[in-house]
Structure formats: structure tokens, C-alpha cells
Chain A
Amino acid sequence: MADLSIAVRQAGDVAVLLPAGFINAHTVREFEEALEGLVQDGRYTILLNCKELNYISSAGLGAIMGLIETVREHGGDILLSNLQDNVFAIFDTLGFTQLYRVFSDEDQALAAAAPGQKG
């Protein structure tokens, strides 16, 4: 099994990225390229559905941090959903749950990302 696989689909105006496996210094470039590809396509509202993400290190956090300003400058955002406990612990420990909107499931995230719901 590969360390990381990434699926992308569109849900209305939201690009849903589904990383599965491990994001670390070895796999982060693949993750970064997927995020950058969305931004280059003008898809600035991105939901990271992390239900199959087992692990993320600071390399992966850096990839997200590196794009947050860009997407917000274009009226978009990066949202997170379905975080496993250990992945949530990393975001929460660093205080990043204040920087990103975190949802328990994808439906809630998509509802929050709908026009007029940004907050």
C-alpha cells in the first residue's frame, strides 16, 4: 500500500480533497501538488476530508499553512472535516483549530461553506 493516496472531487463550489494514509516529509510533495493544483484551477474553497488520513506531520501542516492566505485572498478558505483523534490533537495542540474551521463530518463542512455561511 502506498504511504499516501489522494482523491479529489467537486461538491458544488467546494473542492473536496481526500488524503488517505500518511502525510510526512516523504509524501508531502504529493499533497502539496494536489493543493496547489486546485488553487491554480481557481478552486479556492477546499475541504480536507481527513477520514482516511492516519497521520500528518509538520511537513503537511506547512503545506496547508503555505496556501491559507492565498485562498482567503481570493474569497475562499480551507476547511477540515472528519479528523481522527491523533490528527485533531496535532492541530489542536498548535492552536490551529482557531485558524481553520473544523467539522465533524463533510456534510456540516459543505453546509458551512455554502454562500452566505462563511464565518
Chain B
Amino acid sequence: MDHAQFRLVIPSQTRYLNLVTGLAKRASLVAGLDDATAAKVSIAVDEAVTNVILHAYHGEGEHSVELELRFTEEALEIHIWHSGQGIRGDQLVLPDPKEYIKHPRKGGLGLLLMSRFMDEVQFKADETSGRNECCLIKKIS
């Protein structure tokens, strides 16, 4: 497959989540991933974009979230950029599922799902542009 990429920009509103996750699922299938893996990629993208809307932008709907899909021979990469609050290192602690089961509570599961369903999850800050990026990578075996 030739390397290819394309971009989508959405308003920072949860009403567009379904559109984005549907796209992520279809892109996964185009990349050669199977149905079950495509569903997992779509969940990871949902969680990443939801984090941007609710936490980076604090639920404010007038901002933009930019997604770029990159198809390579080795992987599907989904890059998500925003200009909101970046994620801090101390927020990247993944909850322990066993502790969750012992002490059920709301919140904190999105990062765990992203890390379990993708091969790589990276958070980056571009100091020049002031933008933050979440990069999700799924290898094509």
C-alpha cells in the first residue's frame, strides 16, 4: 500500500464522536485490520477525542480538534491535535484494573482502554505552535 494520509477537523463537541469513531473503524479496515481490531481502534479514538473535548477544552464547544490518519505498510497512525490544556505526566498513571474492581468508581478508564487497544499511545506538546498531540498507533501484522 502506498503511504497515504488525510485530515479531518471537527468542532470540539461530543455530537461528532460517532462520526469520528465510524471513520476510525472504516480506516482500520482499509488498513487491513480485522473487524475486532477495528472496533478496538475506534474505541481508542473515541477515548482520545473525548479527553480532548472534556478535559483539554473543558467541554467548550467552540474549539477545533484535528485528526490525521496515516496509512503505512507497517501501521495505522491516528494523530489528534488540539490547542487546549495538555495532559501532564502525573495524569498518565494508568489505573490498576484489579483495584478498580475492588473499589469501583467513575472515571480514569479511557487511558487504560487506549493503552490496551493500541500498540502505542504517545502524548506530545509542540512548544512552537502551542498545540498538543495524542498519537495512536496500531501495527498491521
Binding site for B on A (CB under 8 A): 3, 22, 24-26, 55, 57-59, 61-63, 65-66, 68-69, 85-86, 89-90, 93-96, 98-99
Query: Which residues does chain B contribute within 8 Å of A86, judged by CB atoms?
Result: 36, 39-40, 43
A62 to B42, CA, bound (A): 18
Q: Which one of A58, A85, A89, A99 lies within 8 Å of B110 (CB-CB)? A: A58
B105 within 8 A of A: yes
Count how many chain B residues have C-beta atoms less than 8 Å from C-beta atoms of the other chain: 29
Q: Which of B1-9, B73-81, B93-101, B122-130 contacts A (4 or more CB under 8 A)?
A: B93-101
- Nearest CB to that of B98 among chain A residues? A95
A62 to B112, CA, bound (A): 13
Question: A95 near B97 (CB under 8 angstroms)?
Answer: yes
A-B contact count (CB 8 A): 78
Q: A58-B47, A69-B104, A99-B101 are in contact. Are A94 and B17 (CB under 8 A)?
A: no
Question: B15 near A26 (CB under 8 angstroms)?
Answer: yes
